[in-house]
C-alpha cells in the first residue's frame, strides 16, 4: 500500500509564511495567533482559493467600471417614486398627514353668568367668522354668539334642553328641543333672537341642513328603532328613512349632510359611519377597528369633498374618513393642542372650529386641511 501524503501542519505553514513576511508587525501578529488545533489543507482548496480570487478580481473590476461611469452608478441605486405620485401632506411610508392644521385662535366659551361648568355640544360658524356654540349644561342651556376675537356678542335661552343645532340660510339657526317636540328658528344676524317655534310630531335629537332647503333630523321611531326624517323649514314632513334596528342597534350620535346630498350618520356601535342617500340606499360604511383607534366618537362633520371628520373625546383626536369609506389619519390630536373635543364645524374658508369639554373653543388654520 502507498503511504498517505503528509500534509503540512499549522506550525509548518506558519514558519513558511514568516520567511516571506518582511513586515515586523505582521510577523508578530502571526506568531501570536493561536492555532485552532491542527490545520490541514484539504484537496481542492488551492483551486477554490484561485477561483475565489479570480471572482474577487472580476467584482473589483466591475465596481471600478461602475464608479468611472456615474450615470450607470446612479441607475443602480434604488429608484424613488416620482414626486407627482406622492400625495401632498403624506409621508412616503406611513401615509399619515404630515402638514396638520395649526391653532390660530383659542378662547373660552364660558360666560360670567354661567353657574356651572359648560357642556358645549354644538358649534356653527357664520361667514363673518363669528361662532355660535350650544351649551347643554342643565343650569346654563343657552346659545352663545362669539366674535372671531373671542368676545361674547350675545346669548340666548332657546327653550328647555336644547339637543342639536344647525345653520340655515340668511344667518339663521334651527335648534331642536326634543322634550318639547319643537324646532326653534333663531336669527343669528347681530344679537341672537328667537324667530319662531315649530311644533313637530316627534322628538328630534340630531339635526343637519341642506342647501336644498330641507332639514335632516334623527328621531326615535318605536317599535322600529330610529329614523331620519327630511323636513321643510316650516316643519312639514317630506320623507322618512327607517334605520334597520338589527343592523344599527345603537342610536345615532350625530348627523351631517354632504354637498352632494348624502346623509352621513355617526353611530357608536360596530358600524361607525354610514352614508345613505335621501332614498335610503347605503353608499358608504366605515367600521372602526382597533388599529384605527376610534374609541368614543361624539360628532361628525364633512367637507366639500365628502370627507368625514369625527371627534373622539376618549383619545382626544379628530379622525378623518375619506369619501370612499377608508380611514385616512388622525387629523388632530393632543399634540396639536386638542383636548376632549365634543363638537366641530367647518368654517367659511375651510378651517375647523372645535368646541372642547373644558369650555374652550379652538380655531385651526384652514390651508393645511386636506
CA nearest to 302, candidates 338, 336, 328: 328
The pLDDT assigned to 25 comes to 52
The pLDDT assigned to 302 comes to 94
- Show me where the domains of the chain are located: 103-364
- The C-alpha atoms of residue 185 and residue 170 are separated, in whole angstroms, by 12
Mapped onto helix, strand or coil, the DSSP state of residue 61 is helix
Other beta carbons less than 10 A from residue 222's beta carbon: 7
Ramachandran angles phi, psi of 11, nearest 5°: -65, -40
The pLDDT assigned to 367 comes to 53
DSSP letter at 24 equals H
Chunked mean pLDDT (size 10), the chain, 370 residues = 50 53 52 49 49 52 47 43 36 44 86 80 92 88 91 92 89 93 94 96 94 90 87 94 87 93 88 91 86 86 93 92 91 91 88 92 71
Give one DSSP letter per residue of 74-120, joined into a string: HHHSPPPPPGGGSPTTB-TTT--B-S---EEEEEE---TT--S---E
Length of the chain: 370
Other beta carbons less than 10 A from residue 21's beta carbon: 14
Burial of residue 221 (number of CB atoms within 10 Å: 0-12, 13-18, 19+): middle
Query: Is the separation of the CB atoms in 308 and 260 below 8 Å?
Result: no
Dihedral of CA 48/51/53/56: which sign?
Answer: negative
Grid cell at residue 86 = 406622492
Strands 254-257 and 237-242 come out as: unpaired
Q: Which helix (H) or strand (E) holds 33?
A: none
The pLDDT assigned to 55 comes to 54
- The C-alpha atoms of residue 285 and residue 250 are separated, in whole angstroms, by 15
When the candidates are 2.40.50.140, 3.30.420.40, 2.120.10.30, 2.40.50.100, the CATH number that belongs to 103-364 is 2.120.10.30
Q: What share of the chain is helix, strand, coil (3-state, %, to 5)?
A: 15, 35, 50
Which residues lie below 8 Å from residue 355, measured CB to CB, with a gap of 6+? 109, 120, 121, 122, 123, 133, 341, 342, 343, 344, 361
Query: Is the separation of the CB atoms in 269 and 248 below 8 Å?
Result: yes
Grid cell at residue 270 = 360596530
- The C-alpha atoms of residue 244 and residue 225 are separated, in whole angstroms, by 7
**Lateral strand order in the sheet of 327-332:** 297-302, 308-312, 317-321, 327-332
Mapped onto helix, strand or coil, the DSSP state of residue 56 is helix
The pLDDT assigned to 62 comes to 47
Amino acid at each position: 500500500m502507498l503511504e498517505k501524503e503528509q500534509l503540512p501542519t499549522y506550525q509548518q505553514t506558519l514558519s513558511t509564511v514568516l520567511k516571506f513576511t518582511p513586515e515586523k508587525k505582521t510577523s508578530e501578529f502571526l506568531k501570536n495567533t493561536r492555532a485552532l488545533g491542527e490545520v490541514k489543507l484539504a484537496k481542492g482548496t488551492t483551486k477554490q482559493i484561485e477561483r475565489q480570487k479570480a471572482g474577487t478580481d472580476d467584482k473589483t473590476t466591475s465596481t471600478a467600471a461602475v464608479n468611472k461611469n456615474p450615470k450607470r452608478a446612479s441607475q443602480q441605486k434604488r429608484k424613488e417614486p416620482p414626486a407627482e405620485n406622492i400625495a401632498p401632506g403624506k409621508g412616503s411610508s406611513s401615509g399619515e398627514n404630515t402638514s396638520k392644521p395649526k391653532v390660530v385662535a383659542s378662547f373660552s366659551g364660558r360666560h360670567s353668568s354661567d353657574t356651572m361648568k359648560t357642556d358645549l355640544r354644538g358649534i356653527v360658524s357664520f361667514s363673518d367668522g363669528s361662532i355660535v356654540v350650544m351649551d347643554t349644561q342643565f343650569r346654563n342651556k343657552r346659545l352663545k354668539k362669539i366674535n372671531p376675537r373671542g368676545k361674547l356678542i350675545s346669548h340666548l335661552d332657546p327653550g328647555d334642553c336644547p339637543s342639536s343645532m344647525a345653520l340655515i340660510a340668511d344667518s339663521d339657526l334651527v335648534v331642536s328641543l326634543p322634550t318639547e317636540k319643537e324646532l326653534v328658528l333663531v336669527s343669528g344676524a347681530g344679537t341672537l333672537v328667537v324667530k319662531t317655534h315649530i311644533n313637530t310630531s316627534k322628538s328630534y335629537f340630531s339635526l343637519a341642513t341642506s342647501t336644498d332647503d330641507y332639514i335632516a333630523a334623527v328621531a326615535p321611531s318605536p317599535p322600529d328603532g330610529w329614523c331620519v326624517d327630511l323636513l321643510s323649514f316650516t316643519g312639514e314632513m317630506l320623507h322618512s328613512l327607517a334605520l334597520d334596528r338589527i343592523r344599527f342597534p345603537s342610536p345615532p350620535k350625530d348627523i351631517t349632510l354632504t354637498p352632494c346630498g348624502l346623509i352621513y350618520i355617526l353611530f357608536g356601535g360596530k358600524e361607525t359611519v354610514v352614508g345613505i342617500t335621501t332614498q335610503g340606499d347605503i353608499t358608504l360604511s366605515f367600521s372602526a377597528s382597533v388599529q384605527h383607534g376610534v374609541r368614543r366618537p361624539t360628532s361628525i362633520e364633512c367637507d366639500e369633498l365628502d370627507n368625514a371628520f369625527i371627534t373622539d373625546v376618549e383619545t382626544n383626536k379628530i379622525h378623518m374618513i375619506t369619501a370612499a369609506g377608508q380611514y385616512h389619519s388622525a387629523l388632530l390630536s393632543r399634540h396639536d393642542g386638542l383636548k376632549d373635543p365634543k363638537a366641530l364645524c367647518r368654517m367659511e374658508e375651510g378651517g375647523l372650529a372645535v368646541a372642547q369639554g373644558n369650555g374652550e373653543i379652538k380655531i385651526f388654520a384652514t390651508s393645511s386641511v386636506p
